Every structure is written in structure tokens, then in C-alpha cells.
Amino acid sequence: MTQAFRTVALVGRYQSEGVAPALLEIARFLAGRGIRVLVEADTFEAIGRPELEAADAERIGREADLAIAVGGDGTLLGLARQLARSQVPLVGINHGRLGFVTDISLNQWPAALGAILDGSYSSEDRTMLVARVVREGREVWRALAMNDVVVNRSSRTGMIELQAHVDGVFMYSQRADGLIVATPTGSTAYALSANGPILHPRLAGIVLVPVAPQSLSNRPITLPDDVRIDIRVVDGREPRVAADMQVFSDLHVGDDIVIERAPFKAHLLHPAGYSHFATLRGKLNWHELPVLSRPPA
């Protein structure tokens, strides 16, 4: 059988206890199958094993056939932003709390990863967003997001006022703590905690979810994913924008945040039999029936 994955990259949330030994064990597992292993540069420095081969994101994008993230969902989100342009498939091994996209548990990785390397897996593409901050006609910040782009206020200040246009057409003005623009992947993250809807990953949509809006009639809305969304900061002190809550920029009143679907997608590999509904049952406890309380006798 032809080896589909000849070079595999590893990246880990190396600050967390137990991740470094797991990374080394996975590296040995891959090498034992005759696979060349690249270790992301920061991860390499942290685990301190000179016999491994370090590589930056650019080199991984050129040379790797597969990239494995060991950590929480945030680790995979960061890896997706780095490698989506290169279309390197991603696998997530969960060493975090929830694990929506890092769906292989740490105690089951040998069997799951071995099956993927043997060609037994399901694959899916996840929409990504490009966000730009335009200030007085000049772009001052740009970032990718796999989950969401969030425009919000500083924790030390009051509400901010935002104005949103979709494809150049005015949609609304709002005063709120912030506004979330989420992909289907991000619909089960911050957007869900702000009462946004769950979007299936194959749905071609983007959801806008206000955070604590002043007007209770200001509700979430789902838009086609081929629109351009312009959010203008009308008023507010110390506003900011975040991509995946990992990459940030301060904003000024009058700034425009331009959000569009990226021209590429993140390519995820899952163990065979993967089901988004099973993930929702397992992570959101959909399988649990509500507890009915009885009045005292």
C-alpha cells in the first residue's frame, strides 16, 4: 500500500503538563512507521529534544502531508490559521477540556491515528474568515479566523455602538457589549454562549450574534457565507477586535472591520465513523433528559 502521509508535522500546547511526553510518544510512533516527523519550531524549543527535526509554519506548509495538533481546540485553531493556505490536512488529539475539533481522545490516539495513517478516515472542510481593520482608508490589521471574529468593548468600559452593513446595504445599528461573527465551526463556541444558533459544519452560512445588546429585539441572524460584512465602530472607549480570541487589535472610533469568507478552507481529518451529532451529544450532553423536580409532599 502506498504511504499517503510521508511527512507529518507535530504541534502541541507545550505549556500544559503531560503534552511533551505525548508528543514524543507520537513522534516515536510515526517514526516507527517510516514517516518523517517535523516538529513546529516553538514546540521543538519547549520539549528540548535535539534529535527531532524543527520546522516553522512556512516549511510545514510546503513539506508536510499531515499536521497533528496535541492540545485543546485553541491549539488546532492556531494551527489551522497557519496552514489553511497550504491545505495541509489537520488532525486534533485532545489534551484540553472540551475538544469540539480536537476529537481524538488522548488515551485512544494510537488506534485512531494508526487508522488515519492507513487511509481509514472521514474528511471535511471548514469555512474560515478573513478580517481586516480599515482606518481612514488604510488597512492596519488583518487576520484569519476559523471560529469567529469578535468586536467588543474593553472590560473596563461601557457598551460600544456599532453599525453593520452587508454587501454595502445597511443592516442595523446596535449598542451592546460586542458582536460575534462566527463560522459554522464557531457557532458552538462563544456564539453559542451568547444564545446564537448551532450551524452544521457543511452549512454555507455565517452567524452574527450580539453580545448583551441594549435592545432585546436585537437577535442573532444567519447570513449566506459569500457576503461581505462591514462593522463600523461608531462610539465607545477602548474597543477591540479578536480572531478566534487569540489574535487581537485595538480599534479606534471610525474604524471599519471588514469580514469575508476566506478563499480557502481548513481541511480536517477525523476517525472513520465521525459524526457531528455524536460530538454535540457528547460535548453538550444532548443525550441527557431534563431532571423533573417534584413538589414536596
Q: From 3.30.470.10, 3.60.15.10, 3.40.50.10330, 3.30.70.100, which CATH number describes the 7-119 domain?
A: 3.40.50.10330
What are the tens digits of pLDDT across the range 83-119? 989 999 999 999 877 778 898 998 899 999 999 999 9
Per-residue confidence band for 290, with pLDDT thresholds at 50, 70 and 90: low
Residue whose C-alpha cell reads 477591540 in the numeric block: 240
Same fold, 7-119 and 128-263: no
Q: What is the pLDDT of residues 127-139, one digit of tens each?
A: 999 999 999 999 9
**Cβ atoms < 10 Å from Cβ of 174:** 20
Q: What are the domain boundaries of the chain?
A: 7-119, 128-263
Q: Which residues pair with 132 in a beta bridge?
A: 142, 258
Q: What is the pLDDT of residue 285?
A: 83
pLDDT for 68 beyond 90:
yes
* Domain covering 128-263, topology: Tumour Suppressor Smad4 (2.60.200)
Taking CA atoms, 147 is separated from 35, 134, 231, 245, 252, in Å, by: 31, 21, 18, 9, 24
* Burial classification of residue 104, based on how many CB atoms lie within 10 Å of its CB (0-12 exposed, 13-18 middle, 19 or more buried): buried
Mean pLDDT over 14-28 rounds to 85
Which residues have a catalytic role annotated? 73
Angstrom distances, CA of residue 107 to CA of 30, 70, 187: 17, 12, 28
Give the Cβ contact number of residue 41 at 10 Å: 15
The predicted model gives 212-240 an average pLDDT of 95
Three-point CA angle 109, 110, 111, nearest 5°:
95
**CA 74 to each of CA 11, 48, 89, 113, 196: distance values in angstroms, whole numbers, following the listed order:** 12, 23, 17, 20, 20
DSSP state of 57: H
Query: What's this model's pTM, rounded to 2 decimal places?
Result: 0.92
Q: What is the mean pLDDT of residues 236-249?
A: 95
Model pLDDT, residue 86: 95
Q: pLDDT per residue over 162-174, tens digit each? A: 999 999 999 999 9
Q: Please name which of 26, 20, 6, 3 lies closest in space to residue 112, comparing C-alpha atoms.
A: 26
How much of the chain, in percent, has pLDDT values that exceed 90? 76
> What mean pLDDT value characterizes the chain?
92
Who has greater pLDDT, 14 or 221? 221
